[in-house]
Amino acid sequence: EYRWIFGDPSSGSLDTSFLPGPSHFYATPGVYTVRLRVSSGGLCIDSTQQDIKVFPGFFPDFEVLGKCKNIPIQFKDKTTAAFGSVNNWKWNFGEPTSPSNTSTLQNPTHVYAAANSYNVEFIVSTSVGCIDTIYKTIDILNQPPLTLQPKDTLICNIDTLQLNAVGAGSFFWTPNYMIDNVNVANPLVSPDVTTTYRVQLTDAFGC
């Protein structure tokens, strides 16, 4: 036999249940003391109690800024909570061979030694006792993504061609010959001799 008391007098008769595994809806956030009394044929009796914390509106999340190995990757907590304040963070960056694989900072950085996919674990909790764990897989690259359009082009020496580099960051073209701007993604070039143009991309994190 089971007798639950959910510690929620405002719910009237719904504050009690005789089921082995009941559910209960709390209309108001707060801390409730739940009591359970169990008996076997009315002979063997025991009871226990536990505080239940009801604080909805807890949404753990984080973002990752940066993509490259050997460059500090920024981890940014984006957790929101309707009750209490976010006050505890535990990170595991998924690189167990690194001496700095874990952190308790809110917004830490981590440097990955090799390009690979890493499983990041983030445990976050609040001042009212909410706690959750989320996981994200991140891809660390050797270089930031960069593509060129077109790669090979034949033009006459009186023509102008627009080059197009696709990527996120700052661009630098070489050589500085018959090109209208070496620091944009899509410069215009008009070489009068065969010329190979190269572009370097540096992202916002120095990669």
**Integer distance in angstroms from the first to the last C-alpha of the chain?**
66
Calpha distance 70→45 (Å, rounded): 62
Q: Say what the pLDDT of residue 154 is.
A: 84
- Tell me how far CA of residue 80 lies from CA of 83, 105, 167, in angstroms: 9, 16, 32
Q: pTM score, two decimals? A: 0.76
Please check whether residue 123 is in contact with residue 61, taking contact to mean a CB–CB distance below 8 angstroms.
no
Please check whether residue 201 is in contact with residue 169, taking contact to mean a CB–CB distance below 8 angstroms.
yes
- Tell me how far CA of residue 14 lies from CA of 10, 84, 136, in angstroms: 9, 28, 40
| DSSP notation for 3-39 | EEE-S-GGGGGGGEE-SSS-----SS-EEEEEEEEEE
Q: Say what the pLDDT of residue 200 is.
A: 96
Where do runs of H (alpha helix) occur along the chain?
none
Q: What is the chain's pLDDT, residue by residue, as a tens digit (207 residues)?
A: 999 999 999 999 999 999 999 999 999 999 999 999 999 987 899 999 999 999 999 999 999 999 999 999 999 999 999 999 999 999 999 999 999 999 999 999 999 999 999 999 999 999 999 999 999 999 999 999 999 987 678 888 889 999 999 999 999 999 999 999 999 999 999 999 999 999 999 999 889
Q: Say what the pLDDT of residue 76 is.
A: 98
Q: In what side-by-side order are the strands of the sheet with 62-65?
A: 62-65, 73-77, 109-110
Q: Pick the closest to residue 73 from 111, 104, 114 (CA basis).
A: 111
Calpha distance 23→4 (Å, rounded): 10
Calpha distance 65→77 (Å, rounded): 11
Q: What length is written for the chain?
A: 207
Please check whether residue 6 is in contact with residue 19, taking contact to mean a CB–CB distance below 8 angstroms.
no
Q: Say what the pLDDT of residue 202 is.
A: 95
DSSP 41: T
